[in-house]
Amino acid sequence: MRAPPPRRGGPLGIQCTVCNPFQENSYIVFDEVSREAIVIDPGYYNEEEFLEADAFIKENGLTVRRVLNTHLHLDHCMGNGWALRKWNVDAEVSEKDLFLIQHADYQAQMFGLELNDILPEPKLFLKEGDVISVGNTKLLTIEVPGHSPGGLAFYCAEEHLLFAGDVLFRGSYGRTDLPGGNTAELFNSIRQKLLCLPEETVVLCGHGSPTTIRAEKLNF
């Protein structure tokens, strides 16, 4: 487990688990009053990784209410099956990324991975402007295509936090050479949707360490 990133006041807890061979960041976000939780990008590659996250849920008396995928590349959604079976929660995604999960075997071959679980096809879809509420935690859905056609980011204005998936990294940005990727769209998403957020916003990335909007403005 990685220690939670710095945050400002408010009843919001965050736990990051680094998962699978791609060292993907999977986030458990929970309301410290209601003990309700959401999981963002469950990239659990095997039962051991899932059980580590499940143990945190149980030890802290949390109830998982929603599972969100920023996009449907395998390293960010390999735990969707575990979440559905163990927490009885189906993942919520952009419908524009469904083709990726429908060709999961091809993705696995491309990434050199062995699929250890059957990935359920999501049935719940998110779009620009949707608000995800769990307890006192509210996340705004932002569509950020480019890394994948259905890329999503989730922004918590109260806490100045952005869950950016693989769109924006510390000093870098997501690759666009995978199926459906588009460099022009990615740069437009970053500049028009993310860099306009308050500069103090902490960016929690899909891989690697956090950054801030202020720091990333220097790179664009």
Q: Tell me the domain boundaries of the chain.
A: 12-217
20: region left, alpha or beta (phi > 0 left; psi from -120 to 50 alpha):
left
pLDDT in tens, 19-70: 999 999 999 999 999 999 999 999 999 999 999 999 999 999 999 999 999 9
C-beta atoms surrounding 88 within 10 Å: 8
Structure tokens at 60: 């802290």
Q: CA 148, CA 158: separation in Å to the nearest integer?
A: 28
The stretch 102-108 carries a mean pLDDT of 86
Instruction: Provide the pLDDT for residue 155.
Output: 98
**Domain 12-217 is classified in which CATH homologous superfamily?**
Ribonuclease Z/Hydroxyacylglutathione hydrolase-like (3.60.15.10)
Instruction: Provide the pLDDT for residue 17.
Output: 94
Percent of residues, the chain, with pLDDT higher than 70: 95
Write down the pTM of the prediction: 0.93
- Using pLDDT thresholds of 50, 70 and 90, give the confidence band for residue 9: very low
